[in-house]
Structure 1
Amino acid sequence: MNILAQALEYALSNSDSFFLALGQHLKLVLVPLAISLGLGLPLGFLSASSRTASAVLINSFNSLRVIPSLAILFLAIPYLGLTFQAAVVALTILAMPPILISTDVAFRGINPPIIEAAQGMGMAPWQVLWQVKIPLALPVIIAGIKTATVEVIASATLAAFIGAGGFGKFIVLGFALYDNAILLVGAIPVAVFALLAEVSLSTLQRYFVTPTARI
């Protein structure tokens, strides 16, 4: 029996554990992403609007990117314990920089004459924001969200080290037992989720980049 068949057999014979891990992994991905979007998008817009805010925010979050996710996870343990919350903190810190930085770059990259033309047509500031700035910025923002999503999907496997579940527990168990089939039960779904996120968000990004894609 080949290793993929063994992995499938293990997943089917442990279906309750597999679907529990699926729910845990989705939660480990969606909660940090929701927090990162809620904080990163407005902070990125603020950063693009102010040089002072940009210097502080971009430098601060760029410095966080050099810290490995596992290190952040273990640094959070003394304060939050071996909990889901500790994993969320680590994954949120991982997801924030690409979202914030891409938002900053997206709004800074808008051609000023376009904004001036919109204002010259009598658009109110809120209309310029919603009808001009945001549509032009969306492709770059989505690129940052795509990067954050793929990174969080992959890094959520580290939550297994503190007992927060997810597909990482199969990877950890596979390593512990030197059983590649069990390892693949965790690794394959994570790879599939990452690929689906990459393809779907890339498609969405192209939709906003290419006007003809909307016809």
Structure 2
Amino acid sequence: MDFLGDVLAWLTDPANWEGERGIGNRLVEHVLISIETVAIAAAIALPAGIAIGHSHRWPGLTTGVVNIARAIPSFAVVALALPFAIRLGLGIGYWPTFLALVLLALPPIFTNAVTAIRVVEPRVVEAARGLGMRERELLWQVEIPLAVPLILAGVRVAAVQVVATATLGALVGWGGLGRFIVDGFAVQDNVRVFGGALLVALLAVLTELGFAALSRWRSPRGVAQTAVAR
């Protein structure tokens, strides 16, 4: 109980929230890089996934390659991004973390986008074609609206993964909430380590809940599509 009390005291101490190295600034850094990387990954993966899902071309090959990429450990992706960023002259810290998080966010968004379009009820698609809809109209007015819950599930998985993995950025010289964990280990400050880990966990839970609420709000009425990210 004393340890938990120390953690609570550390989290509620106004002095720990102030300054460039305070909780407030680290939290903002963590949230911003998470939003930026998920947005970039979505801008790349969604158009590609939707196009492939609609055309029904190479779905097995593309998702297979993406799933192989998903099997690479998060730390390995961060470690590989570091020399790549240095070679490009981007240095350490922010850019290796940014590149790694974008790469980690791509697979779940892409896979769900492909699957979401492919599993739209064929009878609905054929009925729309029977009404004279062109392929572009069919995609934007029928397939994408019905696929939104599953597409959002992919973005949700990516966002939660990014929030958790951004912690590793501290190992390559970046800030964020992971800084408390790395710095705490360095000086054997278990209160700071646990406090930083708790903040990351809470942020991941809030991200999960936020996307769950958004998915329920965006689900088309009368449509029961399972939004499960694989």
The aligned residue for residue 179 of structure 2 is 169
Aligned ranges 1:1-215 → 2 under 5 Å: 2-9=5-12, 12-16=15-19, 17=21, 18-50=23-55, 52-81=57-86, 82-209=92-219, 211=221
State the Cα distance separating 1:79 from its structure 2 match: 2.2
Q: Residues 52 and 112 (structure 1 numbering): CA distance in 2 closer, same or farther, change over 3 Å?
A: closer
Contact 2:49 2:114 (C-alpha < 8 Å) held by counterparts: yes
Aligned-residue CA RMSD (Å) = 2.1
Report the secondary structure of 2:63's partner residue.
helix
State the Cα distance separating 1:14 from its structure 2 match: 4.8
**Once superposed, which parts of structure 1, at least 4 consecutive aligned residues long, lie more than 4 Å away?**
none
Report the secondary structure of 1:91's partner residue.
helix
Contact 1:44 1:100 (C-alpha < 8 Å) held by counterparts: yes
Contact 2:37 2:102 (C-alpha < 8 Å) held by counterparts: yes
Contact 1:170 1:183 (C-alpha < 8 Å) held by counterparts: yes
Contact 1:6 1:181 (C-alpha < 8 Å) held by counterparts: no
The 2-side partners of 1:127 and 1:109 are apart by 18
State the Cα distance separating 1:47 from its structure 2 match: 2.5
Q: Residues 67 and 21 (structure 1 numbering): CA distance in 2 closer, same or farther, change over 3 Å?
A: same
State the Cα distance separating 1:170 from its structure 2 match: 0.2
The 1-side partners of 2:143 and 2:29 are apart by 37
The 1-side partners of 2:16 and 2:32 are apart by 23
Q: 1:106-161 deviations in whole A, cap 9, x for unaligned?
A: 00001111011112223333322222111110011111111111000000000000
Report the secondary structure of 1:211's partner residue.
coil
Q: Residues 177 and 139 (structure 1 numbering): CA distance in 2 closer, same or farther, change over 3 Å?
A: same
Unaligned runs of 5+ in 1: none
Q: Residues 161 and 115 (structure 1 numbering): CA distance in 2 closer, same or farther, change over 3 Å?
A: same
Give the length in aligned residue pairs. Answer: 213
Tell me the TM-score normalized by structure 1: 0.90
Higher helix share: 1
Unaligned runs of 5+ in 2: 87-91, 223-230
Q: Residues 43 and 210 (structure 1 numbering): CA distance in 2 closer, same or farther, change over 3 Å?
A: closer
